[in-house]
Amino acid sequence: MRVGHGYDVHRLVEGRRLILGGVEISWEKGLLGHSDADVLTHAVMDALLGAAGLGDIGTHFPDTDSAYAGADSIKLLERVTALLDHRGWKVGNIDATILAQRPKLAPHIPQMRERLARAMGVSPEQVNLKATTEEGLGFTGSGEGMAAHAVVLIWKG
């Protein structure tokens, strides 16, 4: 068994879609990034890659490569999962936290869990998601951006 931790952050801007955990959330701003900027899925991918000792998402999907411009992060997660599977690693569980002052994310968490689980080929019960504000503090609290942390357990199957 191995444990990995992932962290990601993206700036909020007008004129972009807000995608979290592969789910589009209707809101006035979206996350800025080279891909779809899905901060939650990026944290999960980094945690998986880290647990397997395979670097990070910047190594596998560099923002200098135009092939990943606007990329669907769920499709990238499927590729990361396949990479782990090829090396004999199986996903045990994911525990992740999204840091965002607004919008309220609780109504979207079940769909995010389902979407992430499907991309990794696991049960939604193996994916735990939480959302929290930072009480108006820092860049997430001021609404400048969003962040996510993810911890994963993988094992040789």
Kindly state the tokens that stand for 21: 């955990």
Question: Does the annotation flag 60 for ligand binding?
Answer: no
Residue type, 155: W
Question: Does the annotation flag 135 for ligand binding?
Answer: yes
Question: Does the annotation flag 63 for ligand binding?
Answer: yes
Examine the pLDDT at 135 and tell me if it is beyond 80.
yes
Examine the pLDDT at 14 and tell me if it is beyond 80.
yes
> What local confidence, expressed as pLDDT, does residue 63 receive?
87
> What local confidence, expressed as pLDDT, does residue 72 receive?
97
> What local confidence, expressed as pLDDT, does residue 133 receive?
95
Kindly state the tokens that stand for 156: 């040789």
Q: Look at the pTM and tell me if it is higher than 0.85.
A: yes
Q: Tell me, what CATH number does 117's domain have?
A: 3.30.1330.50
For residues 27-45, give the mean pLDDT. Answer: 97
Examine the pLDDT at 157 and tell me if it is beyond 80.
no
Question: Does the annotation flag 132 for ligand binding?
Answer: yes
Q: Domain count for the chain, please give it.
A: 1
- Structure confidence by residue, pLDDT tens digits, 49-64: 999 999 999 999 998 9
Question: Does the annotation flag 81 for ligand binding?
Answer: no
> What local confidence, expressed as pLDDT, does residue 16 receive?
97
Q: Dihedral of the CA atoms 94, 98, 104, 109 (nearest 10)?
A: -10
Question: Does the annotation flag 107 for ligand binding?
Answer: no
For residues 24-39, give the mean pLDDT. Answer: 97
For residue 117, give Cα distances in angstroms to 18, 103, 122, 123: 20, 23, 5, 6
Examine the pLDDT at 67 and tell me if it is beyond 90.
no
In the predicted model, what is the mean pLDDT of the chain?
97
Max CA distance (Å), the chain: 44
Range of the domain at 144: 1-156
Question: Does the annotation flag 61 for ligand binding?
Answer: yes
- Structure confidence by residue, pLDDT tens digits, 83-116: 999 999 999 999 999 999 999 999 999 999 999 9
